[in-house]
Amino acid sequence: MSLFSPLTLPNGAVIPNRIAKAAMEENMADGHHLPSQALIDLYRAWAAGGAGLIITGNVMVDARAMTGPAGVVLENDHHLDRFKAWATAARSGGGQVWMQINHPGRQMPAALGQETLAPSAIALDLGAQSKVFPMPREMSAADIAEVERRFVTTAALAERAGFTGVEIHAAHGYLLSQFLSPLANHRQDRWGGSLENRARLLLDVVRGVRAAVTPSFAVAVKLNSADFQRGGFSPEDARAVVKMLNGLGVDLVELSGGSYEAPAMMGSSRDERTLGREAYFLEFAREIGKVAAMPLMVTGGIKRREVAQKVVESGVDMAGIATALAIEPDLPALWRQGKDVAPSLRPITWKNKPIASSAHMAAVRYQLVRLSQRRRTAPHISPVWALITAQLQARSSARQYRRWMAQRPATA
């Protein structure tokens, strides 16, 4: 199987090649938390680069629940024209474009000043950084029903805006992932206890979204292959959840891993000389592929054409690439031309994994801003400088967000 072979999804839609621009959290919304012109320009650059599938960064289903202070929110159709412009730019290269939809649960910064919800009242354990995130309130049945409704509403709006699919984020320790994890979910009702109960919200969201959109609109799920925490969501759990998703009209499952507490998705300390280290969720995908009725995508550390090609040759349908495409948006086109380009950032070998993960994300976002300005990227940027700059910007954006929330109508 070639990296540039098309992939036909279960719903009949065709992805023109096997390279996906995986989600990265841009935090580049405008002052009203709509897609900014900079964000639209960034996606036009990726569209020109030739990826068969482009998955957006987080789009929040609830303005009160943000993964970051400058995130995009899609709750209603009041400014759907901005989302239409975003979709048009992202589709200009001929690829599929999916909106990643998400709710942070307890992974919402305290600086945003909002009440934090979670399956159970269990705070994040980040050592000295734990105070960055507040103690969450355990969600009521009404809260859960509202979250489900919001995922469905945002998905339907994404289709109206011209996106070709959505990816429901149930990985990386966000809300749906928290329900799946026995470490974060200690509920004793129908959403807790057994894996079937812990998966209930995700499955209900999938069913609701599938029913609300047309058959040609893709519905994907991002799922942890593991939490990488003792007693957490395991590879066996992931395999079982994928079996539960079979038959629900899911067009693709993206496999990643980790959370804010155990940021395995960053891979900052891995030796990247081998396939197994660079595509570091591939072994999980091979096992899950034995039971999956839908195509699978692996995201995590891929930056070389040789590795991406071996991923699809191994039976995984899509190779998801994030950081490398933040550095070189034309990577798919360059690979198609036979050029061995392998973009990478300066390595971060800090022992504190949460801080190292934050520095990595800051360095990535620095590249995204430069791309949006049509400037050359700077992959050798100091991670310390990138982190300090990002923290200062986050404080400013958090103040702006709090002002925006204070001015919003209560029924918004």
At a CB cut-off of 8 Å and minimum separation 6, what does 334 contact? Answer: 328, 341
114 with 401: CB under 8 angstroms? no
DSSP 9-47: -TTS-EESSSEEE-------B-TTSSB-HHHHHHHHHHH
Q: Between vectors from CA 275 to CA 274 and to CA 278, what angle results, nearest 5°? A: 85
What percent helix, strand, coil does the chain show, rounded to 5? 40, 15, 45
Q: Identify each DSSP E strand in 269-407 by its residue range.
A: 296-299, 318-321
pLDDT at 125: 85
Q: Does position 99 have pLDDT exceeding 60, yes or no?
A: yes
Q: Coil, strand or helix: which one is 292?
A: coil
Give mean pLDDT, residues 265-294: 66
Give mean pLDDT, residues 108-133: 91
The model's confidence at residue 126, banded by pLDDT at 50, 70 and 90, is confident
Q: How many Cα atoms sit within 13 Å of 232 on the Cβ side?
A: 18
For residue 15, the cross-strand partners are 7
pLDDT above 70: percentage of residues in the chain: 94
pLDDT at 271: 34
Domain ranges of the chain: 7-407
pLDDT at 222: 97
Q: Does position 266 have pLDDT exceeding 50, yes or no?
A: no
Give mean pLDDT, residues 388-392: 95
Q: Does position 326 have pLDDT exceeding 60, yes or no?
A: yes
18 with 4: CB under 8 angstroms? yes
**Backbone phi and psi for residue 322, each to the nearest 5 degrees, phi listed first:** -120, -80
DSSP 318-331: EEEE-HHHHH-TTH
Q: How many Cα atoms sit within 13 Å of 111 on the Cβ side?
A: 19
Interval 29-60: pLDDT, tens: 999 999 999 999 999 999 999 999 999 999 99
Q: Does position 257 have pLDDT exceeding 80, yes or no?
A: no
Q: How many of the other CB atoms lie within 10 Å of CB of 116?
A: 22
223 with 241: CB under 8 angstroms? yes
Give mean pLDDT, residues 377-381: 96
| Eight-class DSSP state of 129 | G
Measured between its terminal Cα atoms, the distance across the chain in Å is: 48
Interval 130-151: pLDDT, tens: 788 999 999 999 999 999 999 9
Q: Does position 231 have pLDDT exceeding 80, yes or no?
A: no
The model's confidence at residue 328, banded by pLDDT at 50, 70 and 90, is very high
Interval 58-76: pLDDT, tens: 999 999 999 999 999 999 9
More confident residue, 208 or 269: 208
Size of the chain, expressed as the number of residues it contains: 412
Q: Does position 260 have pLDDT exceeding 80, yes or no?
A: no
Averaged pLDDT of the chain: 92
Give mean pLDDT, residues 22-33: 95
pLDDT at 272: 42
Q: How many of the other CB atoms lie within 10 Å of CB of 404?
A: 15
pLDDT at 268: 38
Based on C-alpha coordinates, what's the Rg of the chain? Answer: 19
Q: Which helix (H) or strand (E) holds 150?
A: helix 141-161
Q: Which of 329, 328, 317 is nearest to 286 (CA)?
A: 317
| Eight-class DSSP state of 263 | -
pLDDT above 90: percentage of residues in the chain: 82
At a CB cut-off of 8 Å and minimum separation 6, what does 306 contact? Answer: 275, 340
332 with 304: CB under 8 angstroms? no
pLDDT at 412: 53
More confident residue, 251 or 282: 251
CATH number for the segment(s) 7-407: 3.20.20.70
Considering the entire predicted model, what is its pTM?
A: 0.94
- Residue appearing with tokens 């550390």: 301
pLDDT at 46: 98
Q: Does position 172 have pLDDT exceeding 70, yes or no?
A: yes
pLDDT at 87: 98
Structure token pair of residue 70: 């400058």
pLDDT at 235: 87
Q: Crossing angle of helices 80-90/37-49, nearest 10°?
A: 20
Q: Which of 258, 143, 253, 242 is nearest to 195 (CA)?
A: 242
